[in-house]
Structure 1
Amino acid sequence: MSRLVFITGGSSGIGQALASHALAQGWRVVLVARRKEALLAWVQQQPAAQHIAVYAADVRDPQAMAAVGRECIAEHGLPDVVIANAGISVGIDSADFEDLQVLRETLETNVLGMAASFHPFLALMRERRAGTLVGIGSVAAIRGLPGHGAYCASKAAVLAYCESLRGECRSFGVRVLTLSPGYVDTPLTRGNPYPMPFLMTPEAFARSAWRAIERGDSYRVIPWPMAVVARLLRLLPNALFDRIFSGRPRKPRRGR
């Protein structure tokens, strides 16, 4: 039987590109998203639609994700790869009380949602002594950008969480890979009011992502020039970093 990948956030952007690449390589695909109608509409357009299964769930709901995981295993088997891709990106201003809810939703989606996506499969992968868990981070985890505190904080947490999980899983033969995209042309980035160097298509990201998965990498920044930029940003003294980015246009806030 062909290999199976479980992907959250499959209703658009990176999730669909990862699924398309997997299908082209002969994988079976399980897609999860809140918007089942959008998933089904996309699946119906795929030549390999018979190899795609669709479930509706909110990654912020651990019970719902546990139920979806059980259904996936019962109906399709234990995945070889689980990609926790679901995420949101919204600007915040902590002086605005309403934006604290945006912060909560971002952390619940990007961090708790990742753990909830991995949870149903982790014990069985350890028992099988094989499997790969893939967390989608971001280069935004490297430094905190003004107005982007929710997203930057959530992706910094993703990097730390995946690193911790990698150490926990190593002796069981389960791999954990953290992928940190730069700017990818998706609905999350199209409203950004600032330059996005090395902007790549979701399809280009998916090709590089799958190469990292197949190689058994533990961490990869995509595209590679963004890794250089990230290292340089990390080395900048705080005073210089603050001066450069203090006047930068900010990520749009919800309803603004």
Structure 2
Amino acid sequence: MTIGRDLINNHAFHETDRRKVAWVTGASSGIGKSLALRLALDGWTVAVSARNSVELDTLARSLEKKIHSFPLDVTDREAAENTVRDIEMRLGPISLAVFGAGTYRRDSLSTFDAASIGEMVGLNIMGTVNCLQAIMPAMTTRRSGRIAVMASVAGYTGLPGAAGYGATKAALINMCEALYPELERQGVQMTIINPGFVDTPLTRQNDFPMPFLISSESAAEYIMRGLERGKFEIAFPWRMKVVLKLLKALPPSLRFALTRRMLREEQT
């Protein structure tokens, strides 16, 4: 069973479409790169976007005629809209859009910085908003398509060291939940992707143990399976998802008792 067939069954695009076109942002490295390769190997024509045009071109050359480079700074709203037009003019209607462009910076009380958090908000939230604004009119007009937004299990609850990052991911989760009913009414499906720790250039800067760490290739497989099933939320690995959802469900007194322990470990 391929992702293309299951997406059709979930009304992601019309059965008469002969060419499956996906657009992946944040595709120069990490999960986005692995997912773009996985989609291409599964028969998709993939448009890849990121700011690093050199890495994009290298990726496109690895699977010529299947992966196509469209450099983009997602914080540029006009550029995002132009990119959608360029992709659809060159490759055809976008059936699947995966918005994975984002950044991560660890913080603490001593390093809490408005400028740094502002950059994360600009890229993680507004960069996604710009891409959503660019793609939603085309998909709702066709009454088909699927949009997947990369958030994080860090968006479930507040964790020491992730005040800024977690806040941006919580905002994305909330935004997708809000958009889901209206998009569904217009024939467009919405998915939120919540990874745990994945081995990427961003997480390699961490100087603490990362439980249940998986490779970006494994992350891509989780995402593919979730898309095949038409799921709203794709969260992985399951143990990380369960731990943080249980943490969120605890009364504040118990939840903070546990997060205080995390703080002590960081300070020792």
User: How does the TM-score come out when normalised to structure 2?
Assistant: 0.87
Shift of 1:224: 1.7
User: Deviations along 1:31-76, whole A, 9 cap, x unmatched?
Assistant: 00001011112332x2x22211111111111111111111111111
Query: 1: distance between equivalents of 2:28 and 2:86?
Result: 19
Q: Is the 8 A contact 2:149 2:192 kept in 1?
A: yes
Percentage identity across aligned positions? Answer: 33
Paired position in structure 1 for 2:133: 119
Query: What one-letter code is carried by the residue in structure 2 that aligns with 1:79?
Result: I
C-alpha spacing 1:249/1:37, structure 2 compared with 1 (3 Å): farther
Paired position in structure 1 for 2:124: 110
Paired position in structure 1 for 2:8: none
Query: 1: distance between equivalents of 2:203 and 2:107?
Result: 15
Q: Is the 8 A contact 1:6 1:30 kept in 2?
A: yes
Counterpart secondary structure, 1:212: helix
C-alpha spacing 1:237/1:108, structure 2 compared with 1 (3 Å): same
Q: 2:41 aligns with which of 17, 21, 24?
A: 24
Q: Is the 8 A contact 2:80 2:134 kept in 1?
A: yes
Matched, 1:53 2:68: yes
Query: 2: distance between equivalents of 1:76 and 1:249?
Result: 49
How many residues align? The count is 248
C-alpha spacing 1:10/1:249, structure 2 compared with 1 (3 Å): farther
Paired position in structure 2 for 1:229: 243
Query: What one-letter code is carried by the residue in structure 2 that aligns with 1:118?
Result: L
Query: 2: distance between equivalents of 1:56 and 1:168?
Result: 30
Counterpart secondary structure, 1:50: coil
Paired position in structure 1 for 2:178: 164
Paired position in structure 2 for 1:130: 144
Shift of 1:96: 5.4
Q: 1:202 aligns with which of 213, 216, 230?
A: 216
Structure 1 unaligned runs (5+)? none
Q: Is the 8 A contact 2:59 2:67 kept in 1?
A: no
Shift of 1:2: 2.8
Q: Is the 8 A contact 2:19 2:92 kept in 1?
A: no
Matched, 1:92 2:107: yes
Shift of 1:230: 1.9
Paired position in structure 2 for 1:69: 84
Paired position in structure 2 for 1:101: 115
Superposed, which structure 2 residues align to 1:27-46 within 5 Å? 27-44=44-61, 46=62
User: How does the TM-score come out when normalised to structure 1?
Assistant: 0.91
Paired position in structure 2 for 1:142: 156
Structure 2 unaligned runs (5+)? 1-17
Q: Is the 8 A contact 1:82 1:118 kept in 2?
A: no
Paired position in structure 1 for 2:11: none
Counterpart secondary structure, 1:26: coil
Q: Is the 8 A contact 2:27 2:56 kept in 1?
A: yes
Query: 2: distance between equivalents of 1:103 and 1:93?
Result: 12
Query: What one-letter code is carried by the residue in structure 1 that aligns with 2:158?
Result: G
User: Deviations along 1:114-142, whole A, 9 cap, x unmatched?
Assistant: 12112222112112111000011100011
Paired position in structure 2 for 1:82: 97
Shift of 1:234: 0.9
Shift of 1:9: 0.3
User: Deviations along 1:116-171, whole A, 9 cap, x unmatched?
Assistant: 11222211211211100001110001111123111000000000011111111011
Q: Is the 8 A contact 1:137 1:155 kept in 2?
A: yes
